Structure 1
Amino acid sequence: MFSAFMTTRTPFAVVFWQWVNQSFNALVNYTNRNAKSPTTTTQLVVAYVSATSSAMITALGCKAYWSKRASPFVQRYVPFAAVAAANCVNIPLMRQNEILHGIDCTDESGKLIGQSKLAAAKGISQVIISRITMCAPGMLILPVIMERAEKYRFMQKITFLHGPIQVMAVGCFLSFMVPTACALFPQRCSLKTTTLAWLEPEAYEKMKEACGGKLPERVYFNKGL
């Protein structure tokens, strides 16, 4: 949503738009959490501060490192590094109760058979990948387009329109990247019970008991968005 503004190169602009973007992401991640895993006010504050801080620190760190070692073109990719880093912090923290207490798992018919922390970790990992993939084209391809376009005389005369042009371009990218990224992984994920037995034996035993001693080959769960 704010990708176009985050491709700007001034330190203040990078920090400000990373803060705006991660504030928005915190709200999105909160509304898409597992409703059965309530999040306390303290957890919300920690998640928000951690996510926005990681984005700004990454952005400023990359910019400080690359400012003397890389061209202005390469510096355009600093915002993407910050967004990727922040997503890796923001989403797990906003949904930390799912990781701490597990999420509901069902058999193929939809019957609840238990909870699994491993399932939560898998689902959240897939959501992180989807979110990064969603913004990648707009933040990786757009800098190349703008770098070349800005060399033309007519573009140099309409610098005040560069922002709106980038916003429109990002909107075009998102129009097909949102459904594409969401479709990378099925909404209803599955996990092999053999993997569960190896990595989360306690949850496996509880599920086995709930199923009368015979677990299905896979358990299913909703990964969230």
Structure 2
Amino acid sequence: MPERLNIDAPLWDQSTFVGRFKHFLWVTDPRSCIVGDEALDKAKELVEQYRKGSEPPGTSVDQVIYAKKLYESAFHPDSGEKQNVFGRMSFQVPGGMAITGAMLQWYRTPFAVVFWQWVNQSFNALVNYTNRNAKSPTTTTQLAVAYLSATSSAMLTALGCKYYWQKRASPFVQRYVPFAAVAAANCVNIPLMRQNEFLHGVDCTDEKGKIVGQSKLAAAKAFTQVIVSRIIMCAPGMLVLPVIMERAEKLPFMKRIVFLHGPIQVMGVGCFLSFMVPTACAIFPQRCSIKTTTLAWLEPEAFGNIKKNCGDKVPERVYFNKGL
């Protein structure tokens, strides 16, 4: 009898970057975001049946793997709830390429800068909320304050860069206004949209998955890693593409198709994101960890609770979902 698939474990080794890259290339496949609700619900049902060993007779491993792919792309790993399609990581390529391409193309007027930063940070806020650690609930008021603060910070940063660089920098350097605003706003958007994780701590487990306590320090580590990943995700498209477009727009045939510059930038960003979304997600392990000795030094209260729950067998490390 063939060995059964571990339905709750990734198909590739997550202790290596290559393994994580393959996993996220698979799970963030943009084609998954156009699969209908009925197919997603059936995939979830098959995953749950397989987990219990009660899948329909004749079910192949390939069917189980495809159901696992749809399930992991559309349902939250903590709550099991179906995610908003626009907030899923599988929507990062189509959503990100459209918005980032527009930001890179239309950056010359204050209105364009403000409008596209608002659109981008609204999208980011949705992605951040959708991919949060769902075991730390956030109230509607907290979400509203976080959203307004994050979008405002992005627009103010963009406008500040725009006015500062307008008189001091060349038109080429001004092309980097969108990236400066996006990088700064990510440092605000992610912590604000996931503030409850820091206020109350995230659930930490031992190596076997048993919850042993909560930690604010773990939440701070998760925020830092996600912020770095998000900036790296958008950096190549927003840093390299302006160089390409600056030179390309001077070519005679490009001057005749000005109306296509926007679509060209959108497609260019899409090419970068197709590779960078799984790359950025794979930089840090999804199941993040922190040493209990670090907690004992920097967060003694959390360590005390873990020690109380574990008794004499305090694990060397505790693990938590960092979000995406």
Say whether 1:64 aligns with 2:171. Answer: no
Gaps of 5+ in 2: 1-95
Q: 1:21 and 1:217 mapped to 2: Cα distance?
A: 40
Q: What's the offset of the Cα at 1:193?
A: 0.9
1:6 alignment counterpart: 103
Aligned to 1:223: 322
Structure 2 counterpart of 1:169: 268
Is 1:92 the equivalent of 2:174?
no
Which residue does 1:138 correspond to in 2?
Answer: 237
Query: Identity of paired residues, percent?
Result: 83
Q: Which runs of 4+ in 1 moved over 3 A?
A: none
Pairing of 1:1-225 with structure 2 (within 5 A): 1=96, 2-7=99-104, 8=106, 9-225=108-324
Q: CA deviation at 1:214?
A: 3.2
Q: Flag structure 1 segments of 5+ consecutive residues without an equivalent.
A: none
In 2, distance between residues paired with 1:45 and 1:182? 27
Q: Please give the alpha-carbon distance, in whole angstroms, between the structure 1 residues aligned to 2:232 and 2:218.
A: 21
3-state SS of 1:135 partner: helix
> How far off its partner does 1:42 sit?
1.0
Q: Deviations over 1:75-99 (max 9, x none)?
A: 0001101001111111101110000
Q: Write the distance in 2 (CA, Å) between the matches of 1:36 and 1:202.
A: 20
Aligned residue for 1:105, secondary structure, equals strand
TM-score normalised by the chain length of structure 2: 0.68
- Aligned residue for 2:168, secondary structure, equals coil
Single out whichever of 81-90 and 172-181 deviates more from structure 2.
Answer: 81-90
Q: What is the CA-CA distance between 1:34 and the residue it aligns to?
A: 2.1
**1:28 aligned partner, one-letter code:** V
Cα distance in structure 2, aligned partners of 1:172 and 1:132: 17
Give the length in aligned residue pairs: 225
For residues 157-193 of structure 1, what are the alpha-carbon distances to aligned partners after superposition, in whole Å with 9 as ceiling and x for unaligned?
1000000000000000000000000000000011011
- Distance in structure 1 (CA, Å) of the matches to 2:290 and 2:121: 30
Q: 1:111-163: CA deviations, max 9, x gaps?
A: 11111010011011111111111010111000000000011010011000000
Counterpart amino acid of 1:5? A
Highest RCO, 1 vs 2 (Cα 8 Å, sep ≥ 6): 1
CA shift at 1:197, angstroms? 0.5
3-state DSSP of counterpart to 1:179: helix
Q: Distance in 2 between matches of 1:35 and 1:224?
A: 9
